[in-house]
A and B are shown apart, each in its own frame.
Chain A
């Protein structure tokens, strides 16, 4: 059951410590028993499990690649967010557009990019989603409508709003989804864009992944209204919250909001309450988290939970689950092999992508080159 901004009660005003733990306002009613599986076909449910398992294995290998120094820079993982990622992406058509923040490997895969190309981008190879120019934070693929992972918190929100403006301008029927984290809801770009999207009636669904942690700063430490979906009300926009650990619930809520946006052009906000299983990035040991919270994140493991649910519902048996797990393991192995075998970019191509339209006197100087 999702909570909506129009139906929910006011936030409880607890005076507890704001560090390290979730406030009561962040709890979402969990679905119980087989009803959690909704009306999806068994085949669809098995495919959700396959995709979630694939993202889980992929991210574990990405972390491994980082420790092996195959992957550089920052590396933010979707571990613990698999149900949210798959639920959201299942709500979109291939022709719909997606803008994300920097924690987007899973989204890239679930939107339809070959895992090998995602891994190759992490490895900085020419076969990567951005030809190795972007890295972990900057995946992109016009073919599947992923219009970028962005590294500046909130930077993707005005862009997504503008993409929706372009759809509206042309009278298209695509919808834009704009993913962001909980900490993003305090930045100006969020509020400016929510206002613009509502004012101009643009087909964009803003999705806030609330894992209650910025890096180490909790939602309660940073947000005066910690029930983030309520912020939509200020812009006369529909807002609701869903259990991000429940792939079927996420798909249902996101699908409903996406189709509503497609039909009416009206934007909406969806808050998916989720858990981050690991640190902010691969290098973060997350020492700031309380033992109870870390334990809660482990217990909430959406992949394991969904696996048990499918088995007890008779959608999968143990052998069937294991077979899927072997298959995704092979997919990830193949992705790593593809990345490893792909060429590094040639330094001679350094200036190929600075400008789309070449003009006179564009500098092509290397650091030690004289100007004249």
Chain B
């Protein structure tokens, strides 16, 4: 079992899938000659050639739509959208087209494609390059949205996404690309629609996805040294959402804190909190708490950016306050 970065896991899995299925091709801005804005596709143009690694004009609507059309004829495009912010330029093709091809025509065709794109702030990239807007896609029936937080999940979920016949938005995160982890090479594809319990505990449930799922495990590990037994759930899939796993955990622990990089109002955490209310209302000993980004266009200046984004520190604080509210004794 190799220890590799999240970036390497993505690169290696793409390469493996391209080797095993000639219908898989990569399409996006600067993915070939430039080797990708975040170098996920480094070396692949040289190995596979221009047919399989297609540099596009800066025309998100045009090339995302072209990928949908190619997928309708049975190819397996993997689209790289340089960041999720730019996906807004392709919103019509993703929401009005990719998501509708299967249902609108009575199941005669589908759009088996993967839209890889990183979200995330904290890099001083300012208001338009730091957003976490995966919710826009998680809202839409017909799309699937997955969000791996570790190199192993990146591999397993990318394999699952490529094996799936529906359009999958595959959420990456700028802050995760350099993180390392063990990646079992013979692990099976992940199951889309299933959350993972990454720490088993009994005192409190912490729920996160993407970067905040890794922050949640850090916080749980810190707390365990103080005798707190926190259970951590990594959503892994935003659509479908694995409500059963969340609710089962909260029924056991009686309280929950949600950690999310997106904005709080109408955010992913709102849906999770509502699901906990739906399925574990009688088990709750404290209100469900959300740790989410401050509701501002993200500023450039470091102190302001830091103040706006959730962190291990802010999650730790919210977890402690919730534990106090339920009268937890350490």
Cα(A87)–Cα(B192), bound, Å: 47
Cα(A188)–Cα(B88), bound, Å: 14
- For B112, the closest partner residue in chain A by CB is A356
Shortest CB-to-CB span from B165 to chain A, Å, is 4
* B interface residue count range (under 10 / 10 to 19 / 20 to 34 / 35 or more): 35 or more
In the complex, are the beta carbons of A147 and B72 less than 8 A apart? yes
A155-B105 contact, Cβ under 8 Å, with A165-B66, A169-B70, A360-B193: no
In the complex, are the beta carbons of A152 and B73 less than 8 A apart? no
Q: Mark A157-193, 1 if CB is under 8 A from B, else 0.
A: 1111111111101000000000000000000110011
In the complex, are the beta carbons of B106 and A159 less than 8 A apart? no
- For B275, the closest partner residue in chain A by CB is A371
B164 at interface, CB cutoff 8 A: yes
In the complex, are the beta carbons of B242 and A361 less than 8 A apart? yes
In the complex, are the beta carbons of A359 and B193 less than 8 A apart? yes
Q: Which residues of B contact A193 (CB under 8 A)?
A: 62, 65-66
A206 at interface, CB cutoff 8 A: no
Cα(A159)–Cα(B25), bound, Å: 16
A133-B104 contact, Cβ under 8 Å, with A158-B66, A160-B69, A189-B92: yes
Q: Which residues of B contact A195 (CB under 8 A)?
A: 57, 59, 62
Q: Mark B165-186, 1 if CB is under 8 A from A, else 0.
A: 1100000000000000000000
Q: Which residues of B contact A164 (CB under 8 A)?
A: 69
Cα(A370)–Cα(B279), bound, Å: 9
Q: Which residues of B contact A166 (CB under 8 A)?
A: 69-70, 72-75
- For A167, the closest partner residue in chain B by CB is B73
Cα(A352)–Cα(B107), bound, Å: 8
The stretch of A68-76, A137-145, A314-322 in contact with B is: A137-145
In the complex, are the beta carbons of B69 and A169 less than 8 A apart? no
A363 at interface, CB cutoff 8 A: yes
Pick from B56, B68, B240: contact of A360, CB under 8 Å: B240
- For B143, the closest partner residue in chain A by CB is A355
In the complex, are the beta carbons of B96 and A155 less than 8 A apart? yes
Q: Which residues of B contact A148 (CB under 8 A)?
A: 101, 104-105, 109
Q: Which residues of B contact A372 (CB under 8 A)?
A: 243, 247, 278-279
B142 at interface, CB cutoff 8 A: yes
Pick from A138, A162, A188: contact of B69, CB under 8 Å: A162
- For B102, the closest partner residue in chain A by CB is A356
Cα(A250)–Cα(B96), bound, Å: 31
In the complex, are the beta carbons of A133 and B105 less than 8 A apart? yes
Q: Which residues of B contact A356 (CB under 8 A)?
A: 102, 107, 110, 112, 165-166
B64 at interface, CB cutoff 8 A: yes
Q: Which residues of A contact B144 (CB under 8 A)?
A: 355, 359
Q: Which residues of A contact B97 (CB under 8 A)?
A: 150, 152, 155, 158-159
Pick from B70, B105, B244: contact of A361, CB under 8 Å: B244
Q: Which residues of B contact A192 (CB under 8 A)?
A: 57, 59, 61-63
Cα(A356)–Cα(B110), bound, Å: 7
A142-B278 contact, Cβ under 8 Å, with A158-B66, A196-B66: no
In the complex, are the beta carbons of B191 and A161 less than 8 A apart? no
Pick from A131, A199, A357, A363: contact of B57, CB under 8 Å: A199
B20 at interface, CB cutoff 8 A: no
B103 at interface, CB cutoff 8 A: yes
A354 at interface, CB cutoff 8 A: yes
Q: Which residues of B contact A362 (CB under 8 A)?
A: 193, 240
Cα(A161)–Cα(B71), bound, Å: 12
In the complex, are the beta carbons of A162 and B65 less than 8 A apart? yes
A132 at interface, CB cutoff 8 A: yes
Q: Which residues of B contact A165 (CB under 8 A)?
A: 66, 69-70, 75
- For B90, the closest partner residue in chain A by CB is A158
Cα(A132)–Cα(B107), bound, Å: 11
In the complex, are the beta carbons of B279 and A355 less than 8 A apart? no
Pick from B72, B92, B104: contact of A162, CB under 8 Å: B72
B297 at interface, CB cutoff 8 A: no
B residues at A contact (CB < 8 Å) = 25, 51, 56-57, 59, 61-75, 92-93, 96-97, 101-110, 112, 141-142, 144, 163-166, 191-194, 237, 240-244, 247, 274-275, 278-279
Given A157-B65, A355-B166, A356-B166, 19 new contacts (CB under 8 A): A130-B105, A131-B107, A140-B104, A150-B97, A158-B93, A159-B68, A162-B66, A162-B72, A165-B69, A192-B59, A195-B57, A196-B59, A199-B57, A353-B102, A354-B102, A355-B142, A361-B242, A361-B243, A363-B141
